[in-house]
Amino acid sequence: MNINLYINSLLGPCLVFFLIALDYTRKFNTDPFKRFLFLVVLTAAGLATVADFVNRTVEGLPGPGASRIFAVAITVFYIAQNVSYYLMVVFLDYFAHQDRYRARKLLLIMAALLGASALLDLANLRWHFFFSLSPDNYYMEGPLYWLRAAISYFSMVLLAADAILIRKHFLKSQVFLLISFIILNALGSLLDLFLPGSDLIWPCYAAALLYIYLFIIQTDSKIDSLTGIENRLAFNEFISNLARGQQPWHIVMMDLDHFKQVNDTLGHAQGDMALRDMASIIKGCIRRTDFAARYGGYEFIVAIRAEYNIDRLMERIQQAMEHQNEKEGRRFTLRMSYGTGIFPGDSGESMLNFMARIDAQMYEHKKAHYRERDCIASGSGISS
Protein backbone atom coordinates (compact mmCIF):
# COMPACT_ATOMS: atom_id res chain seq x y z
CA MET A 1 0.00 0.00 0.00
CA ASN A 2 1.51 3.37 -1.08
CA ILE A 3 0.08 5.75 1.53
CA ASN A 4 1.90 8.76 0.05
CA LEU A 5 0.27 8.15 -3.33
CA TYR A 6 -3.16 7.95 -1.69
CA ILE A 7 -2.56 11.17 0.23
CA ASN A 8 -1.57 13.02 -2.95
CA SER A 9 -4.33 11.64 -5.14
CA LEU A 10 -7.20 11.72 -2.63
CA LEU A 11 -6.62 14.05 0.28
CA GLY A 12 -4.96 16.64 -1.96
CA PRO A 13 -8.18 17.15 -3.95
CA CYS A 14 -10.15 17.10 -0.69
CA LEU A 15 -8.06 20.06 0.48
CA VAL A 16 -8.88 21.86 -2.79
CA PHE A 17 -12.60 21.26 -2.19
CA PHE A 18 -12.31 22.60 1.35
CA LEU A 19 -10.43 25.76 0.36
CA ILE A 20 -12.88 26.55 -2.45
CA ALA A 21 -15.84 26.05 -0.07
CA LEU A 22 -14.18 28.21 2.61
CA ASP A 23 -13.63 31.04 0.13
CA TYR A 24 -17.09 30.77 -1.43
CA THR A 25 -18.93 30.90 1.91
CA ARG A 26 -17.37 34.33 2.52
CA LYS A 27 -18.61 35.80 -0.75
CA PHE A 28 -21.93 37.58 -0.61
CA ASN A 29 -22.16 39.03 -4.14
CA THR A 30 -23.67 35.81 -5.45
CA ASP A 31 -26.97 34.02 -5.81
CA PRO A 32 -27.62 32.15 -2.51
CA PHE A 33 -29.34 29.23 -4.30
CA LYS A 34 -26.42 28.87 -6.69
CA ARG A 35 -24.01 29.01 -3.77
CA PHE A 36 -26.03 26.37 -1.89
CA LEU A 37 -25.93 23.98 -4.85
CA PHE A 38 -22.22 24.39 -5.39
CA LEU A 39 -21.38 24.00 -1.71
CA VAL A 40 -23.39 20.77 -1.59
CA VAL A 41 -21.43 19.54 -4.63
CA LEU A 42 -18.14 20.42 -2.90
CA THR A 43 -19.19 18.84 0.41
CA ALA A 44 -20.24 15.61 -1.28
CA ALA A 45 -16.99 15.52 -3.28
CA GLY A 46 -14.98 16.06 -0.11
CA LEU A 47 -16.87 13.31 1.72
CA ALA A 48 -16.32 10.95 -1.22
CA THR A 49 -12.56 11.59 -1.27
CA VAL A 50 -12.29 10.97 2.48
CA ALA A 51 -14.33 7.75 2.18
CA ASP A 52 -12.16 6.67 -0.77
CA PHE A 53 -9.03 7.33 1.27
CA VAL A 54 -10.40 5.27 4.18
CA ASN A 55 -11.38 2.30 2.02
CA ARG A 56 -7.98 2.26 0.33
CA THR A 57 -6.08 2.39 3.60
CA VAL A 58 -8.08 -0.38 5.37
CA GLU A 59 -8.23 -2.72 2.37
CA GLY A 60 -6.36 -5.91 3.19
CA LEU A 61 -6.18 -5.27 6.92
CA PRO A 62 -7.18 -8.31 9.01
CA GLY A 63 -10.17 -8.54 11.35
CA PRO A 64 -13.95 -8.09 11.20
CA GLY A 65 -13.68 -4.47 12.35
CA ALA A 66 -11.54 -3.53 9.34
CA SER A 67 -13.99 -5.35 7.05
CA ARG A 68 -16.96 -3.40 8.43
CA ILE A 69 -15.11 -0.09 8.07
CA PHE A 70 -14.09 -1.03 4.53
CA ALA A 71 -17.65 -1.92 3.45
CA VAL A 72 -19.16 1.22 5.01
CA ALA A 73 -16.45 3.46 3.51
CA ILE A 74 -17.07 2.07 0.01
CA THR A 75 -20.83 2.59 0.42
CA VAL A 76 -20.38 6.18 1.62
CA PHE A 77 -18.02 6.76 -1.29
CA TYR A 78 -20.56 5.54 -3.84
CA ILE A 79 -23.39 7.62 -2.38
CA ALA A 80 -21.35 10.84 -1.99
CA GLN A 81 -19.83 10.48 -5.46
CA ASN A 82 -23.25 10.23 -7.05
CA VAL A 83 -24.57 13.21 -5.07
CA SER A 84 -21.67 15.37 -6.25
CA TYR A 85 -21.97 14.26 -9.89
CA TYR A 86 -25.75 14.57 -10.21
CA LEU A 87 -26.06 17.87 -8.35
CA MET A 88 -23.38 19.31 -10.62
CA VAL A 89 -25.83 18.74 -13.48
CA VAL A 90 -28.46 20.76 -11.58
CA PHE A 91 -25.91 23.47 -10.78
CA LEU A 92 -24.79 23.94 -14.38
CA ASP A 93 -28.37 24.00 -15.61
CA TYR A 94 -29.29 26.66 -13.05
CA PHE A 95 -26.12 28.60 -13.79
CA ALA A 96 -27.16 28.82 -17.45
CA HIS A 97 -30.89 29.47 -17.08
CA GLN A 98 -31.07 31.31 -13.72
CA ASP A 99 -34.51 29.73 -13.34
CA ARG A 100 -35.02 28.60 -9.75
CA TYR A 101 -38.34 26.91 -10.48
CA ARG A 102 -36.75 24.84 -13.26
CA ALA A 103 -33.77 24.03 -11.03
CA ARG A 104 -35.99 22.87 -8.18
CA LYS A 105 -37.93 20.55 -10.48
CA LEU A 106 -34.66 19.14 -11.79
CA LEU A 107 -33.41 18.86 -8.21
CA LEU A 108 -36.46 16.78 -7.26
CA ILE A 109 -35.81 14.43 -10.18
CA MET A 110 -32.16 14.07 -9.20
CA ALA A 111 -33.12 13.55 -5.54
CA ALA A 112 -35.40 10.67 -6.55
CA LEU A 113 -32.63 9.08 -8.63
CA LEU A 114 -30.09 9.57 -5.84
CA GLY A 115 -32.50 8.19 -3.24
CA ALA A 116 -33.10 5.02 -5.26
CA SER A 117 -29.37 4.65 -5.90
CA ALA A 118 -28.56 5.10 -2.21
CA LEU A 119 -31.09 2.43 -1.23
CA LEU A 120 -29.39 0.01 -3.64
CA ASP A 121 -25.98 0.88 -2.16
CA LEU A 122 -27.26 0.23 1.36
CA ALA A 123 -28.97 -3.00 0.29
CA ASN A 124 -25.64 -4.15 -1.13
CA LEU A 125 -24.23 -4.30 2.41
CA ARG A 126 -26.50 -7.31 2.95
CA TRP A 127 -26.86 -8.92 -0.50
CA HIS A 128 -23.49 -8.00 -2.12
CA PHE A 129 -24.73 -7.55 -5.71
CA PHE A 130 -22.48 -4.53 -6.36
CA PHE A 131 -19.41 -5.66 -4.46
CA SER A 132 -18.29 -8.02 -1.73
CA LEU A 133 -15.19 -8.49 0.40
CA SER A 134 -12.92 -11.48 0.24
CA PRO A 135 -11.96 -13.37 3.42
CA ASP A 136 -8.70 -11.40 3.55
CA ASN A 137 -10.62 -8.09 3.19
CA TYR A 138 -10.09 -7.22 -0.47
CA TYR A 139 -12.64 -5.65 -2.79
CA MET A 140 -14.39 -7.93 -5.28
CA GLU A 141 -16.87 -6.82 -7.95
CA GLY A 142 -20.38 -8.29 -7.69
CA PRO A 143 -22.60 -9.59 -10.51
CA LEU A 144 -24.34 -6.19 -10.83
CA TYR A 145 -21.24 -4.02 -10.56
CA TRP A 146 -21.88 -2.84 -14.11
CA LEU A 147 -25.21 -1.35 -12.91
CA ARG A 148 -23.50 0.63 -10.17
CA ALA A 149 -20.94 1.97 -12.67
CA ALA A 150 -23.73 2.82 -15.13
CA ILE A 151 -25.66 4.72 -12.44
CA SER A 152 -22.60 6.69 -11.43
CA TYR A 153 -21.31 7.56 -14.88
CA PHE A 154 -24.73 8.20 -16.38
CA SER A 155 -24.40 11.59 -14.68
CA MET A 156 -21.56 12.33 -17.12
CA VAL A 157 -23.92 11.63 -20.01
CA LEU A 158 -26.52 13.97 -18.49
CA LEU A 159 -23.85 16.59 -17.92
CA ALA A 160 -22.64 16.45 -21.52
CA ALA A 161 -26.20 16.50 -22.89
CA ASP A 162 -27.20 19.42 -20.68
CA ALA A 163 -24.05 21.33 -21.64
CA ILE A 164 -24.88 20.90 -25.34
CA LEU A 165 -28.44 22.11 -24.78
CA ILE A 166 -27.46 25.13 -22.65
CA ARG A 167 -24.29 26.21 -24.46
CA LYS A 168 -26.14 29.05 -26.21
CA HIS A 169 -26.89 30.61 -22.82
CA PHE A 170 -23.18 31.07 -22.06
CA LEU A 171 -20.92 33.78 -23.39
CA LYS A 172 -18.25 32.60 -25.82
CA SER A 173 -15.57 33.54 -23.29
CA GLN A 174 -17.13 31.11 -20.82
CA VAL A 175 -17.59 28.17 -23.19
CA PHE A 176 -13.95 27.15 -22.87
CA LEU A 177 -14.33 26.72 -19.11
CA LEU A 178 -17.45 24.60 -19.56
CA ILE A 179 -15.79 22.37 -22.17
CA SER A 180 -12.69 22.05 -19.99
CA PHE A 181 -14.82 20.95 -17.05
CA ILE A 182 -16.50 18.23 -19.09
CA ILE A 183 -13.22 16.99 -20.61
CA LEU A 184 -11.43 16.85 -17.26
CA ASN A 185 -14.35 15.11 -15.62
CA ALA A 186 -14.72 12.58 -18.43
CA LEU A 187 -10.98 11.95 -18.47
CA GLY A 188 -10.91 11.19 -14.75
CA SER A 189 -13.96 8.94 -15.03
CA LEU A 190 -12.51 6.99 -17.96
CA LEU A 191 -9.18 6.52 -16.21
CA ASP A 192 -11.00 5.33 -13.11
CA LEU A 193 -13.12 2.92 -15.17
CA PHE A 194 -10.49 1.45 -17.52
CA LEU A 195 -7.32 1.82 -15.44
CA PRO A 196 -8.21 0.63 -11.94
CA GLY A 197 -5.71 1.92 -9.42
CA SER A 198 -4.77 4.98 -11.50
CA ASP A 199 -6.21 7.17 -8.71
CA LEU A 200 -6.74 10.14 -11.06
CA ILE A 201 -10.51 10.53 -10.77
CA TRP A 202 -10.37 12.94 -7.85
CA PRO A 203 -7.42 15.09 -9.03
CA CYS A 204 -9.27 15.48 -12.36
CA TYR A 205 -12.55 16.25 -10.60
CA ALA A 206 -10.84 18.77 -8.30
CA ALA A 207 -9.37 20.51 -11.36
CA ALA A 208 -12.80 20.49 -13.00
CA LEU A 209 -14.48 22.05 -9.95
CA LEU A 210 -11.72 24.64 -9.77
CA TYR A 211 -12.55 25.58 -13.36
CA ILE A 212 -16.19 25.92 -12.38
CA TYR A 213 -15.29 28.07 -9.39
CA LEU A 214 -13.29 30.38 -11.64
CA PHE A 215 -16.37 30.40 -13.88
CA ILE A 216 -18.48 31.52 -10.90
CA ILE A 217 -16.02 34.23 -9.83
CA GLN A 218 -15.78 35.54 -13.39
CA THR A 219 -19.56 35.80 -13.64
CA ASP A 220 -20.18 37.20 -10.15
CA SER A 221 -17.63 39.97 -10.73
CA LYS A 222 -19.97 41.24 -13.47
CA ILE A 223 -23.14 41.23 -11.36
CA ASP A 224 -24.37 44.32 -9.51
CA SER A 225 -24.76 43.25 -5.88
CA LEU A 226 -27.70 45.60 -5.20
CA THR A 227 -29.97 44.90 -8.18
CA GLY A 228 -28.84 41.45 -9.32
CA ILE A 229 -28.42 42.47 -12.96
CA GLU A 230 -25.09 42.89 -14.71
CA ASN A 231 -22.82 45.85 -13.97
CA ARG A 232 -20.71 48.32 -15.90
CA LEU A 233 -17.81 45.88 -16.20
CA ALA A 234 -20.12 43.42 -17.95
CA PHE A 235 -21.41 46.18 -20.24
CA ASN A 236 -17.88 47.29 -21.16
CA GLU A 237 -17.08 43.71 -22.18
CA PHE A 238 -20.38 43.40 -24.04
CA ILE A 239 -20.01 46.56 -26.10
CA SER A 240 -16.33 45.86 -26.80
CA ASN A 241 -17.43 42.58 -28.35
CA LEU A 242 -20.02 44.49 -30.39
CA ALA A 243 -17.35 46.88 -31.61
CA ARG A 244 -15.37 43.94 -33.01
CA GLY A 245 -18.43 42.38 -34.65
CA GLN A 246 -20.81 43.35 -37.40
CA GLN A 247 -24.21 42.64 -35.89
CA PRO A 248 -26.02 45.89 -34.92
CA TRP A 249 -27.83 46.31 -31.59
CA HIS A 250 -30.17 48.90 -30.13
CA ILE A 251 -28.50 50.39 -27.05
CA VAL A 252 -30.68 52.26 -24.55
CA MET A 253 -29.34 54.31 -21.65
CA MET A 254 -31.97 54.99 -18.99
CA ASP A 255 -31.76 57.37 -16.05
CA LEU A 256 -34.23 57.53 -13.15
CA ASP A 257 -35.71 61.02 -12.84
CA HIS A 258 -35.80 62.78 -9.48
CA PHE A 259 -33.81 60.04 -7.78
CA LYS A 260 -31.73 62.15 -5.41
CA GLN A 261 -34.86 63.31 -3.62
CA VAL A 262 -35.68 59.72 -2.61
CA ASN A 263 -32.31 59.32 -0.89
CA ASP A 264 -32.47 62.80 0.66
CA THR A 265 -36.04 62.72 1.96
CA LEU A 266 -36.96 59.04 2.27
CA GLY A 267 -33.57 57.52 3.02
CA HIS A 268 -31.15 55.29 1.17
CA ALA A 269 -33.18 52.16 1.95
CA GLN A 270 -36.03 53.54 -0.18
CA GLY A 271 -33.52 54.58 -2.84
CA ASP A 272 -32.14 51.05 -2.94
CA MET A 273 -35.68 49.70 -3.24
CA ALA A 274 -36.31 52.01 -6.21
CA LEU A 275 -33.19 50.73 -7.96
CA ARG A 276 -34.13 47.11 -7.31
CA ASP A 277 -37.67 47.77 -8.58
CA MET A 278 -36.31 49.30 -11.76
CA ALA A 279 -33.92 46.40 -12.34
CA SER A 280 -36.75 43.93 -11.78
CA ILE A 281 -38.93 45.77 -14.29
CA ILE A 282 -36.18 45.71 -16.91
CA LYS A 283 -35.49 42.00 -16.38
CA GLY A 284 -39.19 41.27 -16.69
CA CYS A 285 -39.51 43.11 -20.01
CA ILE A 286 -36.48 41.90 -21.95
CA ARG A 287 -35.80 38.57 -23.67
CA ARG A 288 -33.28 36.03 -22.43
CA THR A 289 -31.04 36.93 -25.39
CA ASP A 290 -31.12 40.67 -24.56
CA PHE A 291 -28.64 42.46 -22.31
CA ALA A 292 -29.31 44.64 -19.26
CA ALA A 293 -26.95 46.27 -16.77
CA ARG A 294 -26.79 48.89 -14.06
CA TYR A 295 -24.41 51.36 -15.67
CA GLY A 296 -23.76 53.32 -12.50
CA GLY A 297 -25.63 55.27 -9.83
CA TYR A 298 -29.21 55.35 -11.11
CA GLU A 299 -28.43 54.71 -14.78
CA PHE A 300 -29.32 51.48 -16.56
CA ILE A 301 -28.35 50.06 -19.95
CA VAL A 302 -30.47 47.78 -22.14
CA ALA A 303 -29.36 46.24 -25.44
CA ILE A 304 -31.49 44.29 -27.92
CA ARG A 305 -30.77 43.13 -31.45
CA ALA A 306 -31.49 45.76 -34.09
CA GLU A 307 -34.15 43.67 -35.82
CA TYR A 308 -36.40 43.95 -32.76
CA ASN A 309 -38.71 46.91 -32.10
CA ILE A 310 -37.06 49.15 -29.50
CA ASP A 311 -40.12 51.41 -29.18
CA ARG A 312 -42.28 48.45 -28.21
CA LEU A 313 -39.77 47.44 -25.54
CA MET A 314 -39.69 50.96 -24.07
CA GLU A 315 -43.50 50.98 -24.01
CA ARG A 316 -43.49 47.72 -22.05
CA ILE A 317 -40.99 49.14 -19.58
CA GLN A 318 -43.05 52.32 -19.17
CA GLN A 319 -46.25 50.33 -18.59
CA ALA A 320 -44.47 48.11 -16.05
CA MET A 321 -43.23 51.22 -14.21
CA GLU A 322 -46.75 52.63 -14.06
CA HIS A 323 -48.03 49.32 -12.70
CA GLN A 324 -45.24 49.28 -10.11
CA ASN A 325 -46.10 52.84 -9.05
CA GLU A 326 -49.63 51.72 -8.23
CA LYS A 327 -48.45 49.09 -5.74
CA GLU A 328 -48.98 49.69 -2.05
CA GLY A 329 -45.94 50.12 0.17
CA ARG A 330 -43.98 52.27 -2.29
CA ARG A 331 -43.31 55.81 -1.05
CA PHE A 332 -41.70 56.90 -4.30
CA THR A 333 -42.72 57.12 -7.96
CA LEU A 334 -40.58 55.63 -10.70
CA ARG A 335 -39.99 57.83 -13.73
CA MET A 336 -37.20 57.67 -16.27
CA SER A 337 -35.59 59.38 -19.23
CA TYR A 338 -33.64 57.60 -21.92
CA GLY A 339 -31.52 57.94 -25.02
CA THR A 340 -31.10 55.30 -27.68
CA GLY A 341 -29.10 54.45 -30.77
CA ILE A 342 -27.86 51.56 -32.91
CA PHE A 343 -24.33 50.30 -32.39
CA PRO A 344 -22.27 49.67 -34.40
CA GLY A 345 -23.83 52.00 -36.96
CA ASP A 346 -23.16 52.53 -40.65
CA SER A 347 -21.25 55.77 -39.96
CA GLY A 348 -18.37 53.95 -38.26
CA GLU A 349 -18.90 56.00 -35.09
CA SER A 350 -16.55 55.10 -32.27
CA MET A 351 -17.87 53.50 -29.11
CA LEU A 352 -16.86 56.57 -27.07
CA ASN A 353 -18.73 58.98 -29.35
CA PHE A 354 -21.76 56.68 -29.50
CA MET A 355 -22.05 56.53 -25.69
CA ALA A 356 -21.63 60.30 -25.43
CA ARG A 357 -24.37 60.82 -28.02
CA ILE A 358 -27.03 58.62 -26.37
CA ASP A 359 -26.05 60.09 -22.98
CA ALA A 360 -26.69 63.61 -24.32
CA GLN A 361 -29.98 62.44 -25.84
CA MET A 362 -31.00 61.00 -22.49
CA TYR A 363 -30.36 64.30 -20.70
CA GLU A 364 -32.31 66.23 -23.30
CA HIS A 365 -35.18 63.84 -22.60
CA LYS A 366 -34.72 64.46 -18.88
CA LYS A 367 -34.79 68.25 -19.29
CA ALA A 368 -38.10 67.95 -21.13
CA HIS A 369 -39.45 65.86 -18.25
CA TYR A 370 -38.33 68.42 -15.70
CA ARG A 371 -40.14 71.18 -17.53
CA GLU A 372 -43.30 69.06 -17.51
CA ARG A 373 -42.97 67.95 -13.90
CA ASP A 374 -41.69 71.04 -12.11
CA CYS A 375 -44.72 70.87 -9.81
CA ILE A 376 -43.85 67.48 -8.32
CA ALA A 377 -43.95 67.79 -4.54
CA SER A 378 -41.01 66.82 -2.41
CA GLY A 379 -41.14 63.09 -1.61
CA SER A 380 -43.83 62.23 -4.15
CA GLY A 381 -41.47 61.38 -6.95
CA ILE A 382 -37.90 60.72 -7.90
CA SER A 383 -35.59 63.66 -8.20
CA SER A 384 -32.10 63.94 -9.50
The answer to whether residue 227 is domain-embedded is no
Summarised one tens digit per residue, pLDDT across range 206-247 is 888 888 888 788 778 888 888 888 999 989 988 888 877 778
* Average pLDDT in the chain: 84
The answer to whether residue 119 is domain-embedded is yes
**pLDDT value at position 8?**
65
Look at residues 195, 220, 245 and tell me which one is the last residue of a structural domain.
220
Are 177 and 87 within one domain?
yes
**pLDDT value at position 350?**
83
The answer to whether residue 82 is domain-embedded is yes
The answer to whether residue 379 is domain-embedded is no
**pLDDT value at position 107?**
94
The answer to whether residue 347 is domain-embedded is yes
Which CATH number is 313's domain given? 3.30.70.270
Summarised one tens digit per residue, pLDDT across range 116-130 is 999 999 999 999 999
The answer to whether residue 314 is domain-embedded is yes
pTM: 0.76
The answer to whether residue 323 is domain-embedded is yes
Are 255 and 182 within one domain?
no
Are 52 and 30 within one domain?
yes
**pLDDT value at position 384?**
41
**pLDDT value at position 373?**
58
Is there a cis peptide before residue 32, judged by omega within 30 degrees of 0?
Answer: no
Are 176 and 243 within one domain?
no
- Domain range holding 360? 232-372
pLDDT-derived band at 383, boundaries 50, 70, 90:
very low
Are 214 and 337 within one domain?
no
Average pLDDT of the segment spanning 51-78: 91
**pLDDT value at position 160?**
75
Average pLDDT of the segment spanning 339-358: 85
| Residue 189 confidence (pLDDT) above 90 | no
More confident: 217 or 159: 217
**pLDDT value at position 380?**
46
Are 66 and 116 within one domain?
yes
**pLDDT value at position 318?**
92
Average pLDDT of the segment spanning 280-290: 89
More confident: 251 or 326: 251
**pLDDT value at position 39?**
93
**How many independent structural domains does the chain possess?**
2
**pLDDT value at position 132?**
94
Are 121 and 27 within one domain?
yes
**pLDDT value at position 126?**
93
